[in-house]
Structure 1
Amino acid sequence: MTRFSFWRPALAAYFDSVKDREFAWGTHDCALFSAGGVEAMTGIDFAAGYRGRYSSLAGGLRLLRAEGFATHADLAAKHFAEIHPSQAQVGDIAAIRADDAGLYALGLVQGARILFLSVEGGIGSSDLLSAERAFRI
């Protein structure tokens, strides 16, 4: 997958366009937020087949598991090279542990931080050092 030559301003514009949107499973959750960032940088939506097809975490996981993925991080691994989080650069996807059951929250790397959607609303951030998985875009 190749990034546009203008991927940095496109990614910044994407962040600006979604910063005030409410979190909603299946339309604007952490995985789809990350996929939207990838689409802004590349023109390719790797999660297009999932948008609007679930309305809860359980529903999204059912869709993923029906296709052989344990988590949405595994879906990202199908499309992108997995790298050590210490190698992640701006625009790459990073996964942080969301719970003790092995689920991850996906976000987009911005320097030493990962931007992700907060279930409470808005864009939150986490230290890149908290990432357990990362994927090169």
Structure 2
Amino acid sequence: MKLPDWQKRFSEFGKARARMPFAWGSNDCCTFAAAGVEAITGVNPMASVEPYDSEFGAMRRVAEAGGLQALASEYLGTSVSPLLASVGDVVLVLNEDREMLGICNGVNVMAPGELGMVALGMEAALAAWKI
């Protein structure tokens, strides 16, 4: 459930992550999406996940779950069509032939990039999770 001040908290999340570079285990697509959900709801859906700090650790967890969509569904519930995504919802996108998670800002999907947050087009969205 979204907190009463979720819009302000979501805006602050965006400002905090705007220039934060990509880092496995702290600002990769899963931890980015989880932090966005936490900003909106006060609950980190990845709180019980064993920490990792490498691509290998992240990919092992994704493989164990059966893929990124299955992993996201494990923590966020059943996915919906990306056409139903609205501000604050988690979105699975295909970026340069690689799946990644981000957060819908109403127009684009915001996700961690090499040097900070990047905007990806919703036309690349494969699935979404309502928050």
Q: TM-score, normalised by structure 1?
A: 0.85
Task: Give the equivalent residue in structure 1 for 2:45.
Answer: 46
Q: Establish whether residue 105 from structure 1 lines up as the match of residue 110 from structure 2.
A: no
Question: In structure 1, what is the Cα distance between the partners aligned to 2:88 and 2:109?
Answer: 9
Aligned match of 1:114 in 99, 109, 113?
109
Offset of residue 71 of structure 1: 2.6
Task: Give the equivalent residue in structure 2 for 1:124.
Answer: 118
Letter in structure 2 aligned against 1:31: C
Offset of residue 99 of structure 1: 5.5
- After superposition, give the CA deviation of every residue in 1:73-105 in whole Å (9 maximum; x if it has no partner): 3222122331101111110011112454xx511
Task: Give the equivalent residue in structure 1 for 2:26.
Answer: 27
Q: Would you say the 8 A contact 1:108–1:115 is kept in 2?
A: yes
Q: Which SS does the other structure have where 1:82 is aligned?
A: coil
Q: Structure 2: where are the runs of 5+ without partners?
A: none
How many residues align structurally?
130
Q: TM-score, normalised by structure 2?
A: 0.89
Task: Give the equivalent residue in structure 1 for 2:57.
Answer: 59
Letter in structure 1 aligned against 2:45: F
Letter in structure 1 aligned against 2:109: I
Seen in structure 2, the aligned counterparts of structure 1 residues 76 and 29 have a Cα distance that, compared at 3 Å, is same
- After superposition, give the CA deviation of every residue in 1:35-82 in whole Å (9 maximum; x if it has no partner): 00000000111112336x22222211213444xx12333222122331
Matched-pair identity in %: 28
Question: In structure 2, what is the Cα distance between the partners aligned to 1:121 and 1:37?
Answer: 18
Q: CA RMSD in A?
A: 1.7
Q: Structure 1: where are the runs of 5+ without partners?
A: none
Question: In structure 2, what is the Cα distance between the partners aligned to 1:84 and 1:58?
Answer: 29
Question: In structure 1, what is the Cα distance between the partners aligned to 2:46 and 2:67?
Answer: 13
